[in-house]
Amino acid sequence: MSTFTTSDGTDIFYKDWGSGRPVVFSHGWPLNGDAWDGQMRLVAENGFRAVAHDRRGHGRSGQPWQGNHMDQYADDLAELIETLNLSDVILVGHSTGGGEVARYIGRHGTARVAKAVLLGAVPPLMLKTDANPEGTPIDAFDGIRAGVEADRSQFYWDLSEAFYGYNRPGATESEGVRRAFWLWSMQVGLKGAYDCVKQFSETDFTEDLARIDVPTLVAHGDDDQIVPIAAAALKTAQLVKDATLKVYPGAPHGLVGEFEKAFNADLLDFIRG
């Protein structure tokens, strides 16, 4: 297992496959780097170096009491990139990981970054406010916290259904995909999982997006029940200077089936371009 220790003493697990130009993946909540295995293998087989870490509190990384907030997530990503001495990096973030990528650029700039991919990403702001009426009401996030606190095992199992759109008419459900989601989710420490809800839902990334000055692929399913597209990708694509918006009709939040195949093709085209 590959790990490095951050400046605040937290061990961060990462996977490092292949060689070539680095593509660094940031995962969604409440998963870990394994959620990117298909895309890591894809890019590594096509001449790139694939790196994915488990966010602090998640997966095989340390579970500290402190530091479970977006600024620290971004700083951990920066320390990973610096530890491996990566440059000309393509950053890829899904969901909360997309927020991590945006905040990384907001805090650390693009000196080491060549491109970015935001997939089903939470920026600019998930929470419904007077200035963001398209957002999700706070009651929904309170419900997530209550579910994690009361019976996280059952909550994660139930969440997997909407995450992959299996609750839609005609959807072909994979129990295996749902079991994998549950397994990854159960590896998150309760403290880190609970704290992260506030981070992905209430963090305003508007200023971070304005600092992105590299080509950016903004990809989102228009039937995303977890991060609805109206408050996310449609706004992000307007805020990022050099953004290309890709909308997948009928696609859910999680990469699955034909949606995953379509995104993989777009990802490969974008990182090769």
Sheet arrangement for strand 216-221: 2-5, 11-18, 48-53, 21-26, 89-94, 113-119, 216-221, 243-248
Query: Catalytic residues, which ones?
Result: 95, 224, 253
pLDDT at 68: 98
pLDDT at 226: 98
Q: 49: closest CA among 29, 25, 28, 23?
A: 23
**Per-residue pLDDT tens digits for 150-201:** 999 999 999 999 999 999 999 999 999 999 999 999 999 999 999 999 999 9
pLDDT at 26: 99
pLDDT at 192: 98
CATH superfamily of 2-272: Alpha/Beta hydrolase fold, catalytic domain (3.40.50.1820)
**Per-residue pLDDT tens digits for 8-36:** 999 999 999 999 999 999 999 999 999 99
pLDDT at 263: 98
pLDDT at 166: 98
Mean pLDDT of 191-216: 98
The answer to whether residue 1 scores a pLDDT higher than 80 is no
**Per-residue pLDDT tens digits for 218-270:** 999 999 999 999 999 999 999 999 999 999 999 999 999 999 999 999 999 99
CA distances in angstroms from 247 to 60, 106, 234, 251, listed in the order given: 33, 25, 9, 9
**Per-residue pLDDT tens digits for 107-150:** 999 999 999 999 999 999 999 999 999 999 999 999 999 999 99
pLDDT at 229: 98
**If you compute the radius of gyration of the chain from its CA atoms, what whole number of angstroms results?**
17
The pTM of the full predicted model, rounded to 2 decimals, is 0.98
pLDDT band at 60 (very low <50, low <70, confident <90, very high): very high
